[in-house]
Structure 1
Amino acid sequence: MSDRYIKMLHAMLNGSVTSLEVFFLTIIFSIPLALPIAMGRMSRHKLLSGTTNVFLLIIRGTPLMLQLLVVYFGPGLFVRWLISRGYDVTFRWNRFAAAIVALSINYAAYFAEIYRGGIESIPRGQYEAAKVLGYTPSQTFFRVVLPQVIKRIVPAMGNEVITLVKDTALVSVIGVSELLMVAKERQGAMFSFVPLFIAGVFYFVMNWVVSIAFQRLEKKLSYYS
């Protein structure tokens, strides 16, 4: 194997690591964040539910690429505005951190709607039965409702996670050197389709692994069927 192909593979391996970091950090932050958002959406308080609904409409109604640009460039523009008004403010925004924040907020919004659909699909009889057994509202939710919700939302969550694998490529718009960005750079330098082909294989394998993981999770939760 020639030196240029060895250098290409090394560069793409580094890009793959960055893509995986973006993927896993987004999952770690977005899945827990989605639950309070879902609760806010279902709240009986009109101000809270209305505000949450507007937030979800904005996040789900605008392109993820635009959100990445806003999260990365927005704070800097705001700081410049404050400085122009005479405030002594310093701010540095890391590209990678901005990508994680934008992706986490975006996917938390989608996961929240999946949670809401799962929670609202549980029959009222489940709540009434838990109340008869002496369960508190929090015990009812975490011991009775949530396990059933998890079982019901696994397929929808799997689809979103697969989409996330592909959406990690969008972070290149703010200069994060992930797999696809590296592949494009190498493809231009080498005048070869091989880097793009390797990137495609990586995304395919990653999604294949995610699909298998969710299929196994569905089988483990089949006792709720």
Structure 2
Amino acid sequence: MEQLIEQFFNLEIMIAAWPMILKGLGMTLLICVAVIPMGLVGGLLAALGSASKSRWIRWPVIALVDFFRAIPPLVLLIFVYAGLPFAGVQLSPFTAVVIAFFLNNSAYYGEIFRAGIQSVGYGQSEAARSTGLSAPQTLAYVVLPQAVRNVLPDLLSNTIEVIKLTSLASVVSLGEMLHAADMARSITYNASPIVLAALVYLVLLWPLVRGVSRFGRSLNTG
């Protein structure tokens, strides 16, 4: 038991590794700040494209959404970071992570938005148009507010998945929290920094997970 505690729960090593973990946490949050808004905007555009009446817009958008949902995000990240240089496109680790996660999450956000838009009855649009609203106004003021409310728990759940997804950035040596913890582990030859990073993820995400669950139940009850 003492050896287990020494290897995984060494407080002295955790305290020494904390500055590195904290710096990595800052990079993790920076990735989230960049990827989540871009993913929401990209997802909304993808949803509108997949609902377009023009098949020349609808079919390519649906194909792209299906492709980026099907391909593993780790494979996509490695392709963007290590594959594009063969085509003469050299990206920094941060840029590669943002682009890969944007493509992946836009596809998932797009499907959520599409489901929300389809959940709004067509009569709502007809009623709005009968009052003199244009098609863009109907979408912005009538359809989207109801659509977002209907799928808000799913949007929040996917956002939590984005936060967890940032740990993959360690593959391209971007200094996010898992990469920082792994560097501390390699220096100390002890797994306690990895445990510390896991505890930080737990402290950050557990309240969000519980909050989303309670919010979803309250919507269903309401």
Identify which of 71, 74, 84 aligns with 1:62. Answer: 71
Identify which of 122, 134, 138 aligns with 1:124. Answer: 122
- State the Cα distance separating 1:216 from its structure 2 match: 9.0
Written as runs of structure 1 = structure 2, the 5 A alignment for 1:19-58 is 19-58=28-67
The answer on whether the counterparts of 1:31 and 1:111 sit within 8 Å (CA) in structure 2 is yes
* Alignment-derived partner of residue 82 in structure 1: none
Mark the runs of 5 or more structure 2 residues left unpaired by the alignment. 1-9
* Alignment-derived partner of residue 96 in structure 1: 94
Q: CA RMSD in A?
A: 2.4
The answer on whether the counterparts of 1:15 and 1:180 sit within 8 Å (CA) in structure 2 is yes
* Alignment-derived partner of residue 78 in structure 1: 87
Percent identity over paired residues: 27
Compare 92-101 and 204-213 and name the one that shifted more: 204-213
The answer on whether the counterparts of 1:119 and 1:149 sit within 8 Å (CA) in structure 2 is yes
Identify which of 8, 22, 25 aligns with 1:16. Answer: 25
The answer on whether the counterparts of 1:154 and 1:214 sit within 8 Å (CA) in structure 2 is no
- State the Cα distance separating 1:174 from its structure 2 match: 1.4
- State the Cα distance separating 1:203 from its structure 2 match: 1.1
Identify which of 150, 154, 157 aligns with 2:155. Answer: 157
Q: Which residue type is aligned with residue 157 of structure 1?
A: L
* Alignment-derived partner of residue 115 in structure 1: 113
The number of aligned residues is 211
Mark the runs of 5 or more structure 1 residues left unpaired by the alignment. 80-90
Q: TM-score, normalised by structure 1?
A: 0.84
Q: CA 1:207–1:174 in 2, change beyond 3 Å: closer, same or farther?
A: same
Distance, in Å, in 1 between the alignment partners of 2:20 and 2:156 is 29
Q: Which residue type is aligned with residue 80 of structure 2?
A: V
Distance, in Å, in 2 between the alignment partners of 1:212 and 1:3 is 31
Compare 70-79 and 59-68 and name the one that shifted more: 70-79
Compare 110-119 and 177-186 and name the one that shifted more: 177-186
